[in-house]
């Protein structure tokens, strides 16, 4: 199955000129969802992964399924104020301001191998903040995996330049 065919594109969302790549149609297709999870896991075959970290919110859906496949624990990376226990936080820049991503202090142990998962990589700001959060906890980042890459925005390359192995199941031109 060509997974790109299961992605819905919504023009001018959330603002004019943006082509929003909506993976909810992929998630709703059982065959496509299973194939996507299998393909996200495949590059790590034979590698020991202790935790899968998923970025809120679609990264939770994918990351949980990937963690199950890898027999790994799952770490939710959430927006500020959403986690109930003591957290560490990283603030990062957005095109229209700043945001903060958090994780529980005890979510990752020093030296654990962690895979980062999200639905899409664009500029890489959120993913780089997530990597900083995980490395502050002294985790080792084994890989970052995404369903969709928007290569013109350079996020995947920014992660590679930071020494993180990156994979994406598909790419789309544009923003």
Catalytic status, residue 95: yes
Residues in the chain: 175
Strand partners, 114: 51, 141
CA dist., res. 141 & res. 25, Å (int): 29
Contact 142, 168 (CB under 8 A): no
> Could you tell me where the beta strands, DSSP code E, fall in 24-151?
51-55, 73-79, 87-94, 97-104, 113-121, 140-149
CA distance 143 to 92: 20
Q: How many CB atoms lie within 10 A of CB 166?
A: 21
DSSP symbol at 6: G
Query: 21, 56, 78, 95: which one is catalytic?
Result: 95
Assess whether 58 carries a catalytic annotation: yes
* Phi/psi of residue 129, nearest 5 degrees: -65, -40
Catalytic residue (one of 58, 78, 102, 112): 58
Catalytic machinery residues = 58, 95
């Amino acid at each position: 199955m060509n997974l790109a065919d299961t992605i819905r594109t919504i023009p001018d969302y959330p603002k004019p000129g943006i082509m929003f790549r909506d993976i909810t149609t992929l998630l709703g297709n059982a065959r496509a969802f299973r194939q996507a999870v299998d393909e996200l896991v495949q590059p790590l075959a034979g590698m020991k992964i202790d935790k899968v970290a998923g970025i809120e919110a679609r990264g939770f859906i994918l990351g949980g399924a990937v963690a199950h496949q890898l027999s790994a624990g799952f770490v939710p990376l959430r927006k500020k104020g959403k986690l109930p226990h003591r957290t560490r936080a990283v603030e990062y820049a957005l095109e229209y301001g700043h945001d903060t991503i958090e994780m529980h202090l005890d979510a990752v142990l020093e030296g654990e191998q962690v895979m980062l998962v999200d639905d899409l990589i664009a500029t890489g700001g959120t993913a780089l903040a997530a990597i900083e959060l995980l490395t502050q906890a002294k985790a080792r980042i084994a890989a970052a995996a995404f369903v969709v890459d928007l290569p013109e925005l350079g996020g995947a390359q920014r992660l590679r330049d930071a020494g993180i192995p990156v994979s994406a199941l598909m790419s789309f031109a544009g923003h």
